[in-house]
Amino acid sequence: MPETRYDVLAIGNAIVDIVAHAEDDFLVNQGLTRGSMRLIDANEADRLYDLMGPAIETSGGCAGNTAAGVASFGGNAAFIGKVADDQFGKLYTHDMRAIGVAFDTGPLAGGAPTARSMILVSPDGERTMNTYLGACQNLTSADIDRDTVAAAAIVYLEGYLWDPPQAKDAFRCAAEFAHDAGRQVSLTLSDSFCVDRFREEFLGLIRDRTVDILFANESEVRALYQTADFETGVHALQKDCRIAAVTMGAEGALVVTHDGVRRVSATPVETIVDTTGAGDLFAAGFLFAHARGMSLTDAARLGTVAAAEVIGHVGARPAVSLADLARQSGFEL
Amino acid sequence: MPETRYDVLAIGNAIVDIVAHAEDDFLVNQGLTRGSMRLIDANEADRLYDLMGPAIETSGGCAGNTAAGVASFGGNAAFIGKVADDQFGKLYTHDMRAIGVAFDTGPLAGGAPTARSMILVSPDGERTMNTYLGACQNLTSADIDRDTVAAAAIVYLEGYLWDPPQAKDAFRCAAEFAHDAGRQVSLTLSDSFCVDRFREEFLGLIRDRTVDILFANESEVRALYQTADFETGVHALQKDCRIAAVTMGAEGALVVTHDGVRRVSATPVETIVDTTGAGDLFAAGFLFAHARGMSLTDAARLGTVAAAEVIGHVGARPAVSLADLARQSGFEL
């Protein structure tokens, strides 16, 4: 096996988040589904932006947030994703490297701009995302560096990679490189609407063991197995997956393996400000711990520490050192 | 007198803030003066950006923050400032308009990019600013619309306008238009280093009554009169200014007029997170109240309400409605 340079290599859509508070009335008037992610084109992006409130900008994207979280824990993280050669692309690249993530995907020149997601945060912290994929449409298997994949203990892929037409080839290519090198492949289902779009393909990836570790939340589990009964979904997961980690918000998380289902509690949060990134940061804690050989339940516990941090403020990336936070929570890193 | 369409027209440098946490060690190693604002060129901006931590981006600039604050109080605000025709310029324009500020200055095409300030926030909330003026260098008197100035009860100008070479003409032009229309002119000294750069000119503006209302903090008062003794500075202000509002951090603020000096207490703050914008938001509350005919001490009190809000979170613009906050604090707006 080649040298392990990275705990986690995350591959996903490189997106700048444009985050604004919004009353639920605004969502209703705009016909938006609370808590969902929808894909929009450049015209709709401009139209919605004109209507939404003043915002802050911050680097985001599922896999990117997870990579940033792993780095914040003191882990070695790398990221592959496609930005454009523009101001938002520079911003995204800076934020990745500044937190310590290796990020060397060549930016797209002369094409679509860097992806942006207009995230409307409701008063209760729920987020509704409106994503213009822009340059992410141009992530291809040519961007997947075999040596980088082989050097990572775990490659982490987001379900949203199924949206840009060429990125699924990049996904399959990365999974193949990883398994060829004896590495593990993990997938987050991203959101229930994404599962609805690509259910059969995701089930295929899970059942043919392309995916070793699956991340999902309750609604994604229900969507994957088209069942209203969460328990039924969890039983199906237990059959289909080697390892699944299922987040349940305030109820904590489940670690699902062939051997059984174990629950860990959520880390308490004083005020939920913005739930964006909760699942991504759970994955960061889980994957970092797993790459470092901790038990699966401790991995899930570390995941809840990271998730609790990120929902306490606006933005999907840690505002403090997760390594410090983990030590304060009794973990020895 | 023409119809009053605006409570406040603010004119200043249109700047996107790039905000990151930094330990004081970093400031020392970079030779930065804690709490200061320094001007940097494009090369230094790139160099420092590469070294600083992951950031969030948000619209800023002294006068722009004040205009946003006036709008958040439910006031009618306008802004004049120069952005470029780029992603940061669009971001800035969006944030202004989205909070309800009239902002129609034509963007600069094909020249320098939109100004950005890399703001390093220390653990105690103190901020150190590194500003690349970019497109702000191109604000000229041609950007000052006489009708807009004449339609504002108060025109508010930032001392930082003295930095870009042509902007001081824009400043003088705006002051002249305002007084021709029987309006009031206010100035913030911006920071003590700015006062050091332009002391004689600022004193000239104050003593020749170009400025009706002056905003300053303690160190700016000391710098203006080159005295270590704050009281001496306040006495000098009393002679020179019709109205001066002096902020003193946790000690509150002074309202200085020929008739006397009155102190108002600071609004208590639980945790100081980021002091960026404290003075700008104090000015917003003060000017809004003054334009609406409230007493000067009530104006200062409203200023402290706004300042307390903005130092409780990252970023220099209000995160909640200042009108709601003012009502909760017993003001009838």
User: Could you tell me the CATH number of the domain that includes residue B81?
Assistant: 3.40.1190.20
Q: What is the pLDDT of residues A231-287, one digit of tens each?
A: 999 999 999 999 999 999 999 999 999 999 999 999 999 999 999 999 999 999 999
Measure CB to CB from residue A56 to each of B20, B52, B315 and give the nearest one.
Answer: B315
Going residue by residue through chain B (333 aa), what tens digit of pLDDT does each one get? 678 999 999 999 999 999 999 999 999 999 999 999 999 999 999 999 999 999 999 999 999 999 999 999 999 999 999 999 999 999 999 999 999 999 999 999 999 999 999 999 999 999 999 999 999 999 999 999 999 999 999 999 999 999 998 999 999 999 999 999 999 999 999 999 999 999 999 999 999 999 999 999 999 999 999 999 999 999 999 999 999 999 999 999 999 999 999 999 999 999 999 999 999 999 999 999 999 999 999 999 999 999 999 999 999 999 999 999 999 999 998
Q: What is the pLDDT of residues A48-92, one digit of tens each?
A: 999 999 999 999 999 999 999 999 999 999 999 999 999 999 999
Half-sphere exposure of B271 (CA within 13 A, CB side): 5
Amino acid at A317: R
pLDDT at residue B160, rounded to an integer: 96
Q: Distance (Å, rounded) from C-alpha B333 to C-alpha B291?
A: 12
Q: Distance (Å, rounded) from C-alpha B181 to C-alpha A178?
A: 72
Beta-sheet strands, E only, within chain B: 6-11, 15-21, 37-39, 56-60, 77-80, 102-103, 115-121, 127-132, 152-158, 184-188, 213-217, 243-247, 253-257, 260-264
Nearest Cα residue in chain A from B318: A54
Query: Residues A304, A309, A311, A317: is their CA dihedral positive or negative?
Result: negative
Nearest Cα residue in chain B from A96: B54
pLDDT at residue A333, rounded to an integer: 84
Inside any domain, residue A191: yes
Inside any domain, residue B97: yes
Cβ pair B91:A58 closer than 8 A: no
CA distance B218 to chain A (A): 31
CA distance B269 to chain A (A): 18
A109 inside 8 A of chain B by CB = no
Q: Distance (Å, rounded) from C-alpha A187 to C-alpha A237?
A: 13
Measured between beta carbons, which residues in chain A are less than 8 angstroms from residue B94?
Answer: 49-50, 54-55
Cβ pair B98:A315 closer than 8 A: no
Inside any domain, residue B33: no
The parent domain of residue A98 ranges over 6-14+62-112+134-328
Buried b (16+ CB within 10 A) or exposed e, B16-36: bbbbbbbeeebbeeeebeebe
Q: Distance (Å, rounded) from C-alpha A277 to C-alpha A217?
A: 13
CA distance A83 to chain B (A): 14
CA B17 to chain centre: 13
Cβ pair B99:A59 closer than 8 A: no
Q: How many contacts (CB atoms, under 8 Å) link A and B?
A: 62
Q: Which candidate, B42, B40, B17, places its Cα nearest to that of B30?
A: B40
Cβ pair B57:A91 closer than 8 A: yes
Q: Distance (Å, rounded) from C-alpha B161 to C-alpha B147?
A: 21
Pairing of strands A37-39, A127-132: parallel
Measured between beta carbons, which residues in chain B are less than 8 angstroms from residue A17?
Answer: none
Nearest Cα residue in chain B from A53: B98
Measured between beta carbons, which residues in chain A are less than 8 angstroms from residue B91?
Answer: 18, 55, 57
Buried b (16+ CB within 10 A) or exposed e, A278-314: bbbbbbbbbbbbbbbebebebbbbbbbbbbbbbbbbb
pLDDT at residue B259, rounded to an integer: 94
pLDDT at residue B237, rounded to an integer: 97
Cβ pair B87:A113 closer than 8 A: yes
Inside any domain, residue A41: no
Question: CA angle, corner B213, sides to B259 and B97, nearest 5?
Answer: 145
Measured between beta carbons, which residues in chain B are less than 8 angstroms from residue A98?
Answer: 20, 52-55
Give the tokens for residue A272: 């939920």
B85 inside 8 A of chain A by CB = no
Nearest Cα residue in chain A from B315: A56
Residue A266: partners with Cβ closer than 8 Å, 6 or more residues away: A248, A249, A250, A251, A252, A253, A304, A307, A308
Half-sphere exposure of A86 (CA within 13 A, CB side): 23
Measure CB to CB from residue B98 to each of A54, A58, A87 and give the nearest one.
Answer: A54
CA distance B178 to chain A (A): 29
Cβ pair B68:A58 closer than 8 A: no
Inside any domain, residue A187: yes
User: What's the total number of domains in chain A?
Assistant: 1
Measure CB to CB from residue A315 to each of B53, B56, B68 and give the nearest one.
Answer: B56
Pairing of strands A253-257, B6-11: unpaired
CA distance B55 to chain A (A): 6
> Burial of A110 by CB count in 10 Å (0-12 exposed, 13-18 middle, 19+ buried)?
exposed
Q: Which candidate, A98, A102, A103, A60, places its Cα nearest to that of A81?
A: A103
Half-sphere exposure of A312 (CA within 13 A, CB side): 13
Q: Distance (Å, rounded) from C-alpha B140 to C-alpha A239?
A: 70
Q: Which residues pair with A128 in a beta bridge?
A: A120
Measure CB to CB from residue B98 to each of A52, A113, A319 and give the nearest one.
Answer: A52
Asked whether the beta carbons of B164 and B136 are under 8 A apart, the reply is yes
Q: Distance (Å, rounded) from C-alpha B313 to C-alpha B176?
A: 37
Q: Distance (Å, rounded) from C-alpha B47 to C-alpha B29?
A: 14
**Percent above pLDDT 90 for chain A:** 98
> Burial of B6 by CB count in 10 Å (0-12 exposed, 13-18 middle, 19+ buried)?
buried
Measure CB to CB from residue B56 to each of A52, A54, A58 and give the nearest one.
Answer: A58
Measured between beta carbons, which residues in chain B are less than 8 angstroms from residue A49?
Answer: 94
pLDDT at residue B1, rounded to an integer: 67
Cβ pair B54:A98 closer than 8 A: yes
Q: Distance (Å, rounded) from C-alpha A143 to C-alpha A171?
A: 10
Cβ pair A57:B53 closer than 8 A: no
Inside any domain, residue B130: no
Q: What is the pLDDT of residues A277-293, one digit of tens each?
A: 999 999 999 999 999 99
Measured between beta carbons, which residues in chain B are less than 8 angstroms from residue A99?
Answer: 53-54
Cβ pair B98:A55 closer than 8 A: yes
What is the pLDDT averaged over residues A155-167? 94
Q: What is the full DSSP assignment across A256-276?
A: EETTEEEEEPPPP-S-----T
Asked whether the beta carbons of B155 and B77 are under 8 A apart, the reply is no
B317 inside 8 A of chain A by CB = yes
ipTM above 0.90, yes or no: yes
B94 inside 8 A of chain A by CB = yes
Residue A331: partners with Cβ closer than 8 Å, 6 or more residues away: A298, A301, A302, A305
CA distance A10 to chain B (A): 18
Specify the DSSP class assigned to residue A312. T
> Burial of A325 by CB count in 10 Å (0-12 exposed, 13-18 middle, 19+ buried)?
buried
Give the tokens for residue A292: 């470092």
Cβ pair A94:B50 closer than 8 A: yes
Grouping H, G, I as helix, E, B as strand and the rest as coil, residue A211 is: coil
Inside any domain, residue B32: no
- The H-or-E segment that residue A20 falls in is strand A15-21
Q: Distance (Å, rounded) from C-alpha A124 to C-alpha A288?
A: 29
B48 inside 8 A of chain A by CB = no
Measure CB to CB from residue A98 to each of B52, B88, B317 and give the nearest one.
Answer: B52
Q: Which candidate, B51, B41, B43, places its Cα nearest to that of B20?
A: B51
Measure CB to CB from residue A56 to each of B49, B58, B87 and give the nearest one.
Answer: B58
Measured between beta carbons, which residues in chain B are less than 8 angstroms from residue A315?
Answer: 56
Q: How many CB atoms sit inside 10 A of residue A123's CB?
A: 10
Inside any domain, residue B102: yes
CA distance A18 to chain B (A): 9
pLDDT at residue A165, rounded to an integer: 86
